[in-house]
Chain A
Amino acid sequence: MRQYTRQTIKRNFFVALLVAPFVPVVLALGTGGYLFWSHVQQSTLSRLSLLTTQYVTILDRYLDDFLGDLTLVQGQVGPGDASLRNVLDSLHDKRGEVVDVALVDQEGEVLAYAGPRVYKGGHILPGRWLEESLENGSSVSGVMAGQMGLPHFVLARRLESGGGATVLRVSVAPEVLTRMLMASRVSGVDVLLVGRDGDIMAGSGGQILTRDRDLAGPVFPERVGSAFLDQDSGVSYASGVMRNGGWVVVTRELAPTLFGATRSAVLFVGLSVLFGGIVVFLSSLYLTAYVEKMLLMRDEEREKLREQLYRAGRLAELGEMAAGFAHEINNPLQIMKSEQAYIDMLLQEFRTRAGDDRDALKDVDEIMASVGQIKQQVDRCARITHSILSFGRAGNTEEQNIDLARFVPEVLTMVQKKLQLNNIALKLNISPSRLIVHVDPGRLQQVLLNLLNNAIYAIGETGGARPGEIVLSCAPEGEDKVRIAIADNGVGIGHEQQSLIFTPFFTTKPAGSGTGLGLSVCHGIVTSMKGVLDFESVKGQGSTFFVLLPRVPSQAP
């Protein structure tokens, strides 16, 4: 169950770590992308508008120039084709694109003509050029075929003479416009020159007077003069109206070009996001693993603490229960003892009465030996119950400040004889700093003697395999604790027994040698001193039991 919970936490944590950074990134990218796209679009349209204005200016200049030339040659114009031939020649010298020249009256009657066809005595179809030039002084217009059968555009200028106004009309081959647009074309941008009716007069793509209106379709008629992006086709358009002829210059740029401008930006942003993503992913992975390790450690610590609490609780419970048992058992033991005393007395009397009856005396001795054994076993039970009662004892204690440097050697004198008998060397290491503890000396003595006796027993169990040695050391532990350690090189404690060692009635000694209460009593005493009793042991090498006690600051009295 806990495993599952940890997995869930781990997964959620990982997802949160991974997703959280992407939310602001996506928002920033979205906003940035939108702004960037708008900017690119805007700048594209501005560029197209600028280009359009330039084309309009160039073409207007050209036509102004041409009309200016017509003004210059008007002195040469006279009745008769010969004079116009001169005009045509002089214009042709300067502008190879001139096809023909005609002089017409206000009705369109041809007064003189020079060019590939003869119109003498006939009409040139009057059109807008005639009206406009008579009205405004000059006119520019496009013609798809006309009487020549060739597409061309027309420049006309009104001439004033004594016999009323006449109009000088010049037909021009439209290729000149196409060439101009092709010569000044900009990569990726199409330029179209469109007539007032929407016919394409010329285009940078080589178009010459075509009716293919689709090329500038979206512009006409409503959006002339504005710059915009046609969403359907993805083509940006800009357009401007010329002074001459009311022609419209249309520039268009295809969307792929537009995308091309953003491609590197998109690539850069994409790479950044990818790299950032990898970093976020790796750091999420690392952090998740770290957090999982922390969780695992916390769980283990909690489990350990729980086990300690459980053990402490179980010890206390056992102690209480055992004390209760001891009380109850003391009463029957008392009866047994009394009965045994009574039997003893009766046997003594019987022995007196038996006199010289040897068989009877022998039987009495046997019974007395048996009763003696019962007495011994009752005494053994009594020892156990008394130990239990001292284990559960909460009675008054006399706590006082004890200097361990003086106290410990005193305790050692009590086991000196036993150590000598068992041929055990004792080393005493007491830290030179003053070590004062505030405890009941009787109880501390009980603990130390118990631990020393256990150490002597453990060394005895090796059967003299190595010279016995006990090291007793007292040293400060941290700021506020004292550590008394008793290390022996005895048989050590097996791994499976280590968890049981403080449990009441647990003993490794043969039946009758130990009550199994010593260490649990010591544990209870040390805990009541707000200390810790613990041990380290390696089977076959020895054990170290240590008592950690609160230290009284040495400057205190």
Chain B
Amino acid sequence: MSSLEDCKLLFVDDEEQFLATITKFLRRRKLDVATAHSGRDGLDWFAANPVDIVILDIRMPGLDGVEVLREMRRLKGDDFGVIILSGHAHTDIALDAMRGGANDFLLKPCSVDELLERIDMLYDRLLALRFAKAQVGKT
């Protein structure tokens, strides 16, 4: 878990209360958490700040999750991880998100522990990927 403290998280969800709860929880665990209430806000933050993992809702007013995801991938390639956290269980939606570049898919409601576990796993993979890239860069 300790490595997670360096991980910069961005939650994009239109449920403000969810964002408030998850923020106070994760911040108490000393995690670096940013939130955005809409796809547009999320993209703005993402473009302006370093982000390691984005936790993204699918159905949101304005830009929906898959559109946001595609834009983010366009901006920063695969230098960050994305977990979809959605109340919509449609297989089509999940497939759409995975094709758009999501790394994981979780169905609401999920336990915070499980979410953290997935974030942890993804962050490890991300770090490994970055390391590998750095090695390739050196040689």
What residues of chain A have their CB less than 8 Å away from a CB belonging to chain B?
Answer: 326-331, 333-339, 341-342, 345-346, 378, 381-382, 386, 389-390, 393-396
Number of A-B contacts defined by CB within 8 Å: 74
- CB of B109 within 8 A of CB of A345, answer no
- CB of A345 within 8 A of CB of B21, answer no
Enumerate chain B residues within 8 angstroms of A396, measured Cβ to Cβ.
91-92, 95
- A334 in complex: contacting residue of B59, B87, B113, CB < 8 Å: B87
* Residue of B whose beta carbon sits closest to that of A338: B21
Asked if B5 is at the interface (CB within 8 A of a chain A CB), the reply is no
Report, nearest first, the 8 A-B pairs whose CB atoms are least far apart: A395-B91, A330-B87, A333-B109, A389-B89, A341-B112, A334-B109, A330-B108, A338-B21
- B113 in complex: contacting residue of A341, A378, A386, A395, CB < 8 Å: A341
- CB of A382 within 8 A of CB of B109, answer yes
- CB of B15 within 8 A of CB of A335, answer yes
* Given A331-B18, A394-B90, A396-B92, A337 and B110 contact (CB-CB distance below 8 Å): yes
* Residue of A whose beta carbon sits closest to that of B106: A334
Add 20 more A-B contacts to A339-B21, A341-B113, A394-B90 (CB < 8 A). A326-B87, A327-B87, A334-B87, A334-B109, A335-B15, A335-B17, A335-B21, A337-B109, A337-B110, A337-B111, A338-B22, A341-B111, A342-B24, A346-B28, A378-B109, A389-B88, A390-B89, A393-B89, A395-B95, A396-B91
Write the nearest CB–CB distance from B32 to chain A, whole angstroms. Answer: 17
Enumerate chain B residues within 8 angstroms of A342, measured Cβ to Cβ.
21, 24-25, 28, 112
- CB of A345 within 8 A of CB of B91, answer no
**Docked CA distance A389–B87 (Å):** 10
| Chain B interface residue bracket vs A | 20 to 34
Enumerate chain B residues within 8 angstroms of A336, measured Cβ to Cβ.
109
Residue among A334, A341, A386 with the highest chain B CB neighbour number at 10 A: A334
- B90 in complex: contacting residue of A330, A339, A395, CB < 8 Å: A395
**Docked CA distance A382–B110 (Å):** 9
**Docked CA distance A333–B28 (Å):** 21
What residues of chain B have their CB less than 8 Å away from a CB belonging to chain A?
Answer: 15, 17-18, 21-22, 24-25, 28-29, 59, 85, 87-92, 95, 107-113
Interface of chain A, main secondary structure: helix
**Docked CA distance A341–B28 (Å):** 12
Write the nearest CB–CB distance from B115 to chain A, whole angstroms. Answer: 9
* Given A341-B111, A342-B25, A378-B109, A334 and B90 contact (CB-CB distance below 8 Å): no
Write the nearest CB–CB distance from B109 to chain A, whole angstroms. Answer: 4
- A331 in complex: contacting residue of B15, B24, B95, B112, CB < 8 Å: B15
* Residue of A whose beta carbon sits closest to that of B90: A395
- CB of A338 within 8 A of CB of B112, answer yes
- CB of A338 within 8 A of CB of B91, answer no
Enumerate chain B residues within 8 angstroms of A333, measured Cβ to Cβ.
108-109
- CB of A386 within 8 A of CB of B107, answer yes
- CB of A337 within 8 A of CB of B87, answer no
Enumerate chain A residues within 8 angstroms of B111, measured Cβ to Cβ.
337, 341
Residue among A337, A342, A389 with the highest chain B CB neighbour number at 10 A: A337
* Given A327-B88, A382-B109, A394-B92, A334 and B25 contact (CB-CB distance below 8 Å): no
Enumerate chain A residues within 8 angstroms of B112, measured Cβ to Cβ.
337-338, 341-342
Enumerate chain A residues within 8 angstroms of B95, measured Cβ to Cβ.
395-396
A-B residue pairs in contact (CB < 8 Å), sample of 13: A327-B87, A330-B109, A334-B15, A335-B17, A335-B21, A337-B110, A337-B111, A338-B112, A341-B111, A345-B25, A346-B28, A378-B109, A395-B92
Enumerate chain B residues within 8 angstroms of A335, measured Cβ to Cβ.
15, 17-18, 21
**Docked CA distance A353–B25 (Å):** 18
**Docked CA distance A390–B21 (Å):** 28
**Docked CA distance A394–B85 (Å):** 20
Enumerate chain A residues within 8 angstroms of B109, measured Cβ to Cβ.
330, 333-334, 336-337, 378, 381-382
* Residue of A whose beta carbon sits closest to that of B86: A330
Write the nearest CB–CB distance from A155 to chain B, whole angstroms. Answer: 134
Enumerate chain B residues within 8 angstroms of A334, measured Cβ to Cβ.
15, 18, 85, 87, 108-110
Write the nearest CB–CB distance from A502 to chain B, whole angstroms. Answer: 22
- B108 in complex: contacting residue of A331, A341, A393, CB < 8 Å: A331
Enumerate chain A residues within 8 angstroms of B21, measured Cβ to Cβ.
335, 338-339, 342
* Residue of B whose beta carbon sits closest to that of A349: B28
- A393 in complex: contacting residue of B15, B17, B91, CB < 8 Å: B91
Write the nearest CB–CB distance from A374 to chain B, whole angstroms. Answer: 12
Enumerate chain B residues within 8 angstroms of A326, measured Cβ to Cβ.
87, 89
Write the nearest CB–CB distance from B24 to chain A, whole angstroms. Answer: 6
- CB of B87 within 8 A of CB of A331, answer yes
**Docked CA distance A525–B113 (Å):** 33
**Docked CA distance A394–B95 (Å):** 13
- CB of B18 within 8 A of CB of A393, answer no
Write the nearest CB–CB distance from A168 to chain B, whole angstroms. Answer: 143
Residue among A333, A338, A346 with the highest chain B CB neighbour number at 10 A: A338
Write the nearest CB–CB distance from A319 to chain B, whole angstroms. Answer: 13
Write the nearest CB–CB distance from A307 to chain B, whole angstroms. Answer: 31
- A345 in complex: contacting residue of B29, B59, B110, CB < 8 Å: B29
Enumerate chain B residues within 8 angstroms of A339, measured Cβ to Cβ.
21
**Docked CA distance A331–B18 (Å):** 8
* Given A333-B109, A334-B18, A338-B112, A393 and B90 contact (CB-CB distance below 8 Å): yes
**Docked CA distance A5–B120 (Å):** 74
Enumerate chain A residues within 8 angstroms of B28, measured Cβ to Cβ.
342, 345-346
Enumerate chain A residues within 8 angstroms of B88, measured Cβ to Cβ.
327, 389
* Residue of B whose beta carbon sits closest to that of A388: B89
Write the nearest CB–CB distance from A333 to chain B, whole angstroms. Answer: 4
**Docked CA distance A330–B109 (Å):** 5
Enumerate chain A residues within 8 angstroms of B85, measured Cβ to Cβ.
334
